[in-house]
A and B are shown apart, each in its own frame.
Chain A
Amino acid sequence: MQTMPILTIPAINQLMEALEDFLDKSEASFAMIIDRGGAVLCEYGNIGTSTDTSILAALAAGSFAATKELALRIGESEFNSLHQEGENSQIFMCSVDNDAVLVTIFGPQTTLGLVRFYSARTVKRICGVLEQIHTNPSMAPIFSPQDIRSATRLFDH
């Protein structure tokens, strides 16, 4: 089983600071870092309480992966970014590294250009944090086989 480096509390705090700074400067409303398999690594901002970010992440990862395949078919290694525009909201996704994508949601209060400009800087910052935790991996929580066996019901149904 491949495992991403552990997201420690200091690492999460650094990522959240990067996202907070990004939203502050770009005036976007929500940003999250997802892994390319569809899991949320870190999120910040306001998206509405009824929105399930895990579903957003899964759909965004799928969408980004599909466009990567499109790029390969036309001779490109990847499309680094993807932008979708609706009537009131827009979504901008850009590649962080081989494992992560930055997803930004913004409204009419800002522009794509501003979001794109600050996302480039934020991506570098995020890369730095992810590289750091790759280089200095922390320990995962230790579950013993007994811990798992003693969990009588895995799912509440």
Chain B
Amino acid sequence: MAIINYANKEVQFKVVYYGPALCGKTTNLAYIHGQVNDSNKGELVSLATAADRTLFFDFLPLNAVVIKGFRTKFQLYTVPGQVIYNATRQLVLRSVDGVVFVADSQWEKMEENIESFKNLQDNIARQGQSLDTIPYVLQYNKRDMPSPAPVHYLEYILNNRKTRVPSFAAVATSGQGIFTTLNAVSRLLLQKFAWENQQAAAKQSGTGLSPAPTSLSGIAAASLRR
């Protein structure tokens, strides 16, 4: 749920990194935290077990670009990927504005990828929303593992819905694809925010509404064209 604060001139968004256990969600945030300049990031908070398995969530606040005098802030969260923590995943998804689904490219993880994606759809639906209306991107992580599944196969099993979303190959441990993913979901999110507010303004002023994009991919294509 985007928070707009005119006093502080800030717009805040919540992005959740979702995916099966050990797919690289926390590694994504750790890499981002290591790369962003100190003045534009907060502390990376990890609520994890002694074995570094995410127990509740990881949290990283980031300051992003200033648009029309408003500072855009992104709160990045990860969820615990283990199956038993579904209740916790539901809590973390509350008020989510955008999602990065991190898939593990290893062949033996395909079933977990599919189950986790279904779990994401179910948990979003429990909040009365649909994945069709929330900006999200796919990240195919661990491309450096021996014999990863081909990207087109991952596309077939995870990006074969009515609306195809941007997807990115990644190696979270080295940073490959990490910022590309983050930039993509952030732009999608901002584009949707801009479009919704333009519609609201047009409605209020009684002018004609601009045609809605037929799918989120319409926004995605426009935002990623540059």
Contact = CB atoms under 8 A, between A and B. Distances in A.
Interface of A: 1-4, 6-9, 12-13, 35-39, 41, 52, 54-55, 58-59, 61-62, 65-66, 69, 99, 138-145, 147-149, 151, 153-157
B225 to A, nearest CB: 8
Nearest to A138: B6
Contacts of A69: 87, 91
The 6 closest A-B pairs by CB, nearest first: A37-B95, A12-B7, A143-B194, A65-B91, A157-B35, A140-B197
B196 A3 contact: yes
B33 to A, nearest CB: 10
Q: Which label, helix, strand, loop or mixed, suits the secondary structure of the B interface?
A: mixed
Contacts of A147: 67-68, 194
Contacts of B129: 2
Given A39-B75, A65-B91, A139-B201, A1 B193 contact: yes
A1 B186 CA distance: 13
Interface stretch (B37-45, B114-122, B137-145, B153-161): B37-45
Given A1-B196, A65-B94, A155 B182 contact: yes
A120 to B, nearest CB: 25
Contacts of B4: 3-4, 6-7, 140-141
Contacts of B40: 155-156
B25 interface: no
Nearest to A147: B67
A2 B95 CA distance: 7
Given A62-B57, A148-B187, A12 B91 contact: no
18 contacts: A1-B135, A1-B189, A2-B95, A7-B5, A7-B7, A12-B6, A35-B3, A55-B61, A58-B45, A58-B77, A62-B56, A62-B92, A65-B94, A66-B56, A140-B193, A141-B11, A148-B190, A157-B179
Interface string B173-192: 00000010011001101111
A8 B196 CA distance: 19
Contacts, number: 171
A93 B182 CA distance: 33
Contacts of B42: 52, 54-55
A149 B194 contact: no
B135 to A, nearest CB: 7
A139 to B, nearest CB: 6
Q: How large is the interface on B (under 10, 10 to 19, 20 to 34, 35 or more residues)?
A: 35 or more
A8 B63 CA distance: 21
Interface in B1-35: 1-7, 11-12, 14, 32, 35
A17 to B, nearest CB: 13
Contacts of B72: 154
A154 B11 CA distance: 14
B134 interface: yes
Contacts of B7: 7-9, 12-13
B91 A142 contact: no
B196 to A, nearest CB: 6
B222 interface: yes
Nearest to A7: B5
Contact of A143 (B62, B190, B226): B190
Given A142-B194, A147-B68, 14 more contacts: A38-B59, A38-B75, A39-B1, A39-B75, A52-B61, A54-B42, A54-B73, A62-B91, A66-B91, A139-B197, A140-B200, A142-B198, A151-B65, A155-B65
A157 B74 CA distance: 14
